[in-house]
């Protein structure tokens, strides 16, 4: 796994671009793009302090946004080109939303919703 790039976003988050590509056979590669953004959990994101406590109990002071896109059975000679296409698609489609100033709060709220709707997934974390 290679760190390809770090991007400072306008909302003060740092986006990490990782290349997790690996050879499948001598002439074939699995191309995998992974995006990671660590988002600090802040009290002001929540209307109720209990919500903040619930998020921190499950995830800690930081939650990670992760995005993965992959293509399998790519000719090894085209691996770099395919990786760049995946990254360009992410930049075009997702980067504007992730760069918004309200993204960290919305992301934290989405994690709270998931905890509340699917508590069984988190019962051994809290």
Residues 6+ apart with CB under 8 A from 118: none
Measured over the CA atoms of residue 16, residue 75, residue 70 and residue 25, the dihedral's sign is negative
Torsion sign, CA atoms 62, 67, 73, 75 = negative
Closest CA to 111 of 96, 101, 121: 121
Q: What is the pTM of this model?
A: 0.91
User: Is the per-residue pLDDT at 110 higher than 90?
Assistant: yes
Interatomic CA distance for residues 14 and 35, integer angstroms: 10
Residue with tokens 């400072």: 8
CA distance 64 to 40: 9
For the chain, the average pLDDT equals 96
| pLDDT value at 126 more than 80 | no
* Residues 25-84 pLDDT 10s: 999 999 999 999 999 999 999 999 999 999 999 999 999 999 999 999 999 999 999 999
Antiparallel, parallel or unpaired: β 28-40 and 22-25: antiparallel
What percent of the chain lies above the pLDDT cut of 90?
Answer: 95
Give the model's pLDDT for residue 78.
97
């Amino acid at each position: 796994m290679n760190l390809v790039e770090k991007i400072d976003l306008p909302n003060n988050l740092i986006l990490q671009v990782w290349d997790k590509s690996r050879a499948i056979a001598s002439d074939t590669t699995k191309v995998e793009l992974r995006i990671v953004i660590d988002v600090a959990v802040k009290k002001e994101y929540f209307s109720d302090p209990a919500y903040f406590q619930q998020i921190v109990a499950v995830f800690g002071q930081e939650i990670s946004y992760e995005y993965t896109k992959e293509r399998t059975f790519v000719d090894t000679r085209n691996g770099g080109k395919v990786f760049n296409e995946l990254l360009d698609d992410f930049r075009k489609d997702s980067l504007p939303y992730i760069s918004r100033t309200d993204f960290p709060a919305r992301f934290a709220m989405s994690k709270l919703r998931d905890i509340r709707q699917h508590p069984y997934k988190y019962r051994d974390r809290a």
